[in-house]
A = this chain, B = another copy of it.
Amino acid sequence: MNVPNRSLPTLREVAEAAGVSVGTASKVLSGSSDVSAHRAQSVREAAQRLGYRRNSLAADLRRSRPKSIGFVLPDLTNAFFVDLARLLENEALKNGYRLILAHADEDPERELERIRFVLSRQIAGMIVIPCRGFGQATNEIRAAGVPLVMADRVDETFPEHTITIDSYRAAYEGTQHLLALGHRRIAFLANTLELVNSKARADGYADAMREADLSQEVDVVRCGMTAEEIHVTTLRALHRSRRPTALFAGGNVTTLGALRAMRDADLRIPEDLSLLSFDDAPWMSVLRPCLTTIRQPVEDIGHSIWQLMWALINDEQRDTVHLKLKAELQVRESTAPPAHSSAPPGSTVV
């Protein structure tokens, strides 16, 4: 009863069974109306009866620009990226496109390999959130003549279309919030400075510090990409003699790592240490106190990315787009005035 390797029927078999030509069968099955109702019916019946299933490999090969879009993302562990994937998937589907997910796992080599593979599928467009070390891939994508939209870890210096948030400004404002609370020793946790958005966040932080005459206190910790690395690095930072009174975590994974470190160091939030998180994640909702975060407008970002991609696919956009959306500071409970300043504000060296 279970015929193992009997291959699926082909279009030709269906056509034969229905007593029409392949051409006609093809038209029927791909929804062209230029076929008499009678024949259309019998083709559909035959297809049904034989259990026909179109070989999309062949169809795509023939069409040469499949209705699919590659989406390369660096980390399946990061809620922000996963959210984006879901949004894009839905947007694409509305326009009859499919998303091909490619997971780079924060590894430039794997990323390149993935991009090459996706490219070799003759996709209609490519959306990339680069990982550290993103390099020649751009050229290859360009050479393939495939529309490319880069997102999140990008900025306006990229020659490609980019969509992201204004990391600099958001970090600047976040830092100001902490300063306004009276913090002086604020450490910024950046996963790496090789990523332009992390760099921009660190810069926004540093500039806000400098403008508050706290150049001396600027403290950017490069803490690594995974929650575990971050955990360890942050813990080390917390054990320094002049411990910061506030931590500004540069992303949701960073926040996770930082929280682990704070747990280990047995520090309470916000009594012992304020925590400001760039980006939030579903699990943060169960923390007490609620975290003050900088919320990225994921929906808008996803929507904008697809809008742009759609325009590019339809050749309706020639100028390079650099879109920067605004992230919102959401003040909640994890940030509060420092318990006791070890030095009065005035004594800070200018």
- A residues sitting closer than 8 Å to B (CB atoms) are 2-8, 51, 53-58, 60-61, 64, 66, 76-77, 79, 82, 85-86, 89, 98, 100-101, 103, 105, 116-117, 119-122, 140, 142-145, 227, 256, 259-260, 263, 281-283, 285-288
Contacts of A142 in B (CB 8 A): 2
Contacts of A282 in B (CB 8 A): 77, 227, 256
A35 to chain B: closest CB distance in Å? Answer: 22
With A82-B77, A263-B288, A283-B283 known to touch, is A53 a contact of B256 (CB < 8 Å)?
Answer: no
Chain B's closest residue to A60 (CB) is B57
A268 to chain B: closest CB distance in Å? Answer: 10
Contacts of A64 in B (CB 8 A): 7
Do residues B76 and A85 form an inter-chain contact, with CB atoms below 8 A? yes
Ordered by A's residue number, 24 sampled pairs between the chains whose C-beta atoms are within 8 Å are A6-B145, A7-B64, A8-B144, A51-B143, A53-B120, A54-B120, A55-B61, A57-B57, A57-B60, A58-B61, A76-B85, A85-B103, A86-B103, A86-B105, A89-B103, A89-B105, A98-B117, A100-B100, A227-B282, A259-B286, A263-B288, A281-B283, A283-B283, A286-B287
A212 to chain B: closest CB distance in Å? Answer: 30
Do residues B103 and A53 form an inter-chain contact, with CB atoms below 8 A? no
Contacts of A76 in B (CB 8 A): 76, 82, 85-86
**How many identical chains are in the complex?**
2
Bound-complex Cα distance A329 to B259 (A) = 25
Bound-complex Cα distance A116 to B76 (A) = 24
**What are the 3 A-B residue pairs with the smallest beta carbon separation, nearest first?**
A283-B283, A259-B286, A56-B120
Bound-complex Cα distance A76 to B51 (A) = 31
Chain B's closest residue to A82 (CB) is B76
Bound-complex Cα distance A283 to B252 (A) = 11
Do residues A122 and B55 form an inter-chain contact, with CB atoms below 8 A? yes
A94 to chain B: closest CB distance in Å? Answer: 13
Bound-complex Cα distance A105 to B58 (A) = 28
Contacts of A145 in B (CB 8 A): 3-8
Do residues A57 and B53 form an inter-chain contact, with CB atoms below 8 A? no
Chain B's closest residue to A283 (CB) is B283
Contacts of A103 in B (CB 8 A): 85-86, 89, 101
Q: A8-B143, A260-B286 are in contact. List 11 more A-B contacts (CB 8 A).
A: A6-B145, A54-B120, A55-B61, A55-B122, A57-B121, A61-B61, A77-B82, A82-B82, A86-B105, A100-B100, A101-B101
Chain B's closest residue to A147 (CB) is B4
